[in-house]
Homo-oligomer: A and B are copies of this chain.
Amino acid sequence: MALIVHKYGGTSMGSTERIRNVAKRVAKWARAGHQMVVVPSAMSGETNRLLGLAKELAPSKAASAYHRELDMLAATGEQASSALLAIALQSEGVPAVSYAGWQVPVRTDSSYTKARIESIDDKRVRADLDAGRVVIITGFQGIDGDGHVTTLGRGGSDTSAVAVAAAMKASECLIYTDVDGVYTTDPRVVPEARRLATLSFEEMLEMASLGSKVLQIRSVEFAGKYKVPLRVLSSFTSWDIDINEEAKSGTLITFEEDAQMEQAVVSGIAFTRDEAKISVLGVPDTPGIAYQILGAVADANIDVDVIIQNMSKDGKTDFSFTVSRNDYQRTIELLKDKVLPKLGAESVVGDDKIAKVSIVGIGMRSHVGVASKMFRALSEEGINIKMISTSEIKTSVVIDEKYVELAVRTLHKAFELDQQAA
């Protein structure tokens, strides 16, 4: 008998038929003797419907002007789906109770629409579990110190589930989603892509932030901080699949050093399209350049990803970085108008047809030559590398967008990711 947290996304909760399937699955786990806490998202489409109504009512106002009320509004979606799941469980003969974030309570700061969880009181939940009830806790939301409802932002239900699992010291947090795990790379690009049975927490962070949108990145950070074993698995298997089989399916994100020792050098290939590269050329090499350039960009709320400063030559240097393609034009104009004149740089050039491909693997820490193997594989295919960025567990290259599939396939093969790890 263990304490298990299940999290179900909006698609898994998308209709009464699907909610009934979730109830049957949870009932199976409860009947196997586990103490069950379930964190559901709102029914798919519901949050967008509600926010659409708000937008109709305040067409000319920034959402930040009424974000407290947006949170009151959006929080109703999870409260409704949680109550519906409790009803479905009771209909299956399983005692169940649902709690909104404020009832637990899940305490957060007061940053409406993007609040951060500060603490979770487990007393009430534990009393229900001890009384044999399944406890359903609304995802995505909490309450601040003044009793206002807050939400955690898009995908926040993942974070809620992990935070609940951490507070309750759950044995495992199972994230049910519409994919059956984390893959070595996108199977649409590489048909040989293989599901990873385990992945280290650090690798998952890099995979998630690099575009494998399986888990919200904050939830992975949270899991890392509190060492919550996370499993990503499919909610579209039949609910009556054997529980032991189900418990081993998907991908386990692990914190055990032993498990990491046995891992392959490279675990996966992540990639993002829709990137753009911008270079400021001939910048006088004085202290504070990076801040002068990127400070202005950050002030305009533009996210910067890879940053490269080339070697200085004749007291001048080139400074390059990547942004999302949507921000490309705006960034170029901003630099030309505000930064170039002040900085005394020569020019701004850019390229909005690039992509980023990364190899991710905790084994890179202890294996030399991994990056050079990557560069060689790409060069053998005639793929020109425009930027390189490295960390302890990943190496990223920026290349022409047209080569992205070729690069991913090449690297997937070069690192033998289609083979089962030893």
Contact = CB atoms under 8 A, between A and B. Distances in A.
A72 interface: yes
A129 to B, nearest CB: 17
Given A50-B80, A80-B73, A147-B103, A20 B86 contact: no
Chain copies in the assembled complex: 2
Nearest to A23: B57
B88 A72 contact: no
B88 A57 contact: yes
Given A68-B97, A69-B98, A102-B102, A87 B54 contact: yes
Nearest to A91: B58
A70 B87 contact: yes
A190 interface: no
Nearest to A58: B91
Contact of A57 (B16, B65, B75, B79): B16
B84 A53 contact: yes
A60 interface: yes
Contacts of A76: 76-77, 79-80, 83
Contact of A72 (B66, B83, B148): B83
Nearest to A43: B53
Interface residues of A, number: 42
Contacts of A23: 57
A88 to B, nearest CB: 4
Nearest to A77: B76
A56 interface: yes
A69 B87 contact: yes
Interface in A66-113: 66, 68-70, 72-73, 75-77, 79-80, 82-84, 86-88, 90-91, 96-98, 100, 102-103
A127 to B, nearest CB: 11
Shortest beta-carbon contacts, A-B, top 5: A76-B76, A73-B83, A58-B91, A72-B83, A16-B56
27 contacts: A53-B80, A54-B83, A54-B84, A57-B84, A57-B87, A57-B88, A58-B90, A59-B91, A61-B90, A65-B90, A66-B86, A66-B91, A69-B87, A69-B90, A69-B97, A70-B83, A70-B87, A72-B86, A72-B98, A72-B100, A73-B79, A73-B80, A76-B76, A76-B79, A76-B80, A79-B79, A100-B149
